[in-house]
Chains A and B, each alone.
Chain A
Amino acid sequence: MATATGAQERAVSREKTGSGKLVGRIVQYGLMSLLALIFMIPIVWMISTSLKPKAQLFEQDIHWIPQTITLESYQKILANDAVPVGRWFANSLGVAIAVTLLTLIVDALAAYAYARLEFPGKSILFALLISTLFLPGMMFLVPNFLTINRLGLLDNFAGVIVPGLAGVFGVFFLRQFFEGIPKELEEAATIDGANVFQTFYQIVMPLAKPALATLAVITFLASWNDFLWPLLVLTKPEMLTLPPGLRTLQGAYTSEYGQMMAGAVIAAVPVLILYVALQRYIVQSVASTGIKG
């Protein structure tokens, strides 16, 4: 797997002595490590701040590892009914799980139709779907807000969940995967007397597990992190999800940075765990957006 700049580097090293190459390696590692350190600093600082007692927030000398490690910031926000962080966490989790499951079902069904079934109007519908990719999301804020209001879904989790199911990314993503499955498998099932729903459910869906897992992970992430839409739809303190909740936390008290960072850690840790565990899926899905573009 020697590639692009790998070859470039070999070309360079040919002109260099052995020690020159070693120096090059050290410089490269040094640079990458320095950058990694810079990237980690904000996250380390967030965690460090959240674990300090309030008196040690504004010290003469900054301590990256708190002199006294305490969970008092966490205890305070979890016990405070004005900023029910525990409730927000549960709300975020419920909404994200609902959005993920529903998106997988809705998008997989539609994607299969676009990938494999023939029906009048298919190409027109698909072109319509593609054309919406070029429409900026801001156009939909006001009219969708009014639709949700008319449906009586303001301050209701359904008002956050439902508009997300209209997205077209998952349909394109799964369609592409379904098209890569050998047709013979489905044909064999049809010959054995399976109808189209059985073929879809028993043959195609099990084969599509990797793609479904990838879509699930990025859908969950997007829903868990969404800020603007829940900020519009949810207003009652006990109904918020974590991102708009953090906004409330920020506005509630001045200079309670320990508590604010504790809230930020609570919102960040689940996605960071998810990222560490499922990095491959997330990175692959991003790389595939670029190749399509």
Chain B
Amino acid sequence: MATAVTRESAAVRPVQGKRRFSLAPYLFLLPHLIFFAGFVAYPFFNGLLISLQSYNFLRPDRTKFVGMQNYANLFTPGSVEFQPFWTSLGNTVQFVIYSVPPLVIIPLGLAVLLNLKLPGRNFFRAVYFMPWVLSIAVVGLLWWWIFQSQGGLINYYLGRMGLEEPQWLSTLPWAWVAITVATVWWTLGFNMIILLAALQDIPDYLYEAASIDGATPMQMFWRITVPMLRPVLLFIVTTSIIASFNLFGQPFLMTGGGPALPEGGGATTPVMVQIYNEGFVRYNLGTAAAMSVVVAAIMIVVSVVNFKVFQQRD
């Protein structure tokens, strides 16, 4: 660090004892900044503004400023928007509850298995991770076909074993089972790779010391592996919750949001599909923007709470 002074570069470079302003750094930044300003910074505020409007997509001149009306509708029982919105948000929360535990536990098990360093483990790692590189469109279509009640692979084998053949995609709880299975298959490799990398970072001497003290493998797992993995587990749990909160393609392609609920709406219609329908099928973009803001606020709160809870235990 002794060369700090000579290392000052570009923008503020000492020239004959004077500091010269340089445009070069801004030229480097400019392309990204333009896109960032246009498609991240501006829409952040514009989205809030749209949520305060009764937006008319086909006749933009008829767009009206309505203040908090869109939000009021979302929070007023009996309004047209109230029940479908909260039902769909409830559906999304259900999916988070169903999907996050297997998305943490199964990858942890696989990572421990792969970390045994058996010859050929790279092959198995590659296979378990493979589905992650596929598009949700491929995954959704594929599992939709596998779970078909007529001609589907799962019911074929269930029938062969003389078991009941559920209508997977159109009855509860099977529709959620199908969506969760497809999701776990598709994404668990991501968590597995991160956990495997973290396992490999745990120093060997901890286990050696424990084994000298006569600890059993289970004790070592709970007393060494799990505590050492805590920061990474926090990361995995948080990112999995957020990923599951964004559920869209699986029900969109597999169940169409159904089966229909007696009180209206679909039992597997997540809030993202609700926002899609509201904004891009019915073109109520103001309402869709307000829904997005409410859901995004909830997601931010969940991540922050999650972070605090894990941090406190240290």
Contacts and interface: CB of A to CB of B under 8 A. Distances in A.
Nearest to B122: A279
Q: Is the interface of A mostly helix, strand, loop or mixed?
A: helix
Contact of A196 (B24, B125, B249): B24
Q: Which of A162, A183, A228, A282 has the most CB of B within 10 A?
A: A228
B247 to A, nearest CB: 11
B150 interface: yes
A119 B253 contact: no
Contacts of B204: 2-4, 6-7
Interface stretch (B78-86, B166-174, B290-298): B290-298
A234 B193 CA distance: 34
A58 B200 CA distance: 47
B165 interface: no
A47 to B, nearest CB: 10
B141 A264 contact: yes
Given A45-B153, A196-B10, A246-B138, A4 B115 contact: yes
A293 B194 CA distance: 10
Given A147-B38, A290-B197, A142 B115 contact: no
Q: Is the interface of B mostly helix, strand, loop or mixed?
A: helix
A243 B251 CA distance: 15
Interface string A246-279: 1101100001010011011001100110111001
Given A120-B11, A147-B43, A36 B124 contact: yes
A90 interface: no
B98 interface: no
B28 A274 contact: no
Contacts of A127: none
Contacts of B32: 106-107, 109-110, 165-166, 171
A43 B195 CA distance: 25
A18 interface: no
B198 interface: yes
Contact of B272 (A12, A138, A272): A138
Interface stretch (A73-81, A128-136, A205-213): A128-136
B207 A4 contact: yes
29 contacts: A3-B115, A4-B199, A5-B116, A6-B116, A8-B217, A11-B215, A110-B32, A113-B26, A118-B10, A119-B25, A122-B25, A134-B303, A138-B246, A140-B47, A143-B289, A146-B50, A149-B57, A166-B38, A187-B6, A225-B136, A227-B249, A243-B135, A244-B137, A246-B138, A264-B138, A267-B135, A268-B138, A274-B133, A286-B129
Interface of B: 6-12, 22, 24-26, 28-29, 31-33, 35-36, 38-44, 46-47, 50, 57, 110, 112-118, 121, 123-131, 133-138, 141-146, 148, 150-151, 153, 156, 185, 190, 193-200, 202, 204, 207-208, 210-211, 215, 217, 220-221, 225, 231-232, 235-236, 239, 242, 245-246, 248-249, 252-253, 272, 275-276, 279-280, 285, 288-289, 292-293, 295-296, 299-300, 303
